[in-house]
Amino acid sequence: MGEYSVKSGWFNSETMLYMAFVTVANYSQSSFELGYAFKFIRMMLLVLTALLNVWGFIIGFILSICAVVFNRTIAGKSYIYPLIPLHLSELRKRLFRGRLPHKEKQS
Lowest average pLDDT, out of 50-54, 64-68, 94-98, goes to 94-98
For residue 78, name the pLDDT band (cuts at 50, 70, 90).
Answer: confident
| 43 and 93 assigned to the same domain | yes
Regarding whether 21 and 54 lie in a shared domain, the answer is no
Is residue 102 a part of any domain in this protein? no
Per-residue pLDDT tens for 28-38? 776 777 778 78
Please name which of 18, 17, 68 lies closest in space to residue 41, comparing C-alpha atoms.
Answer: 68
The whole domain housing 24 covers 1-30
Neighbours of 48 (CB within 10 A): 19
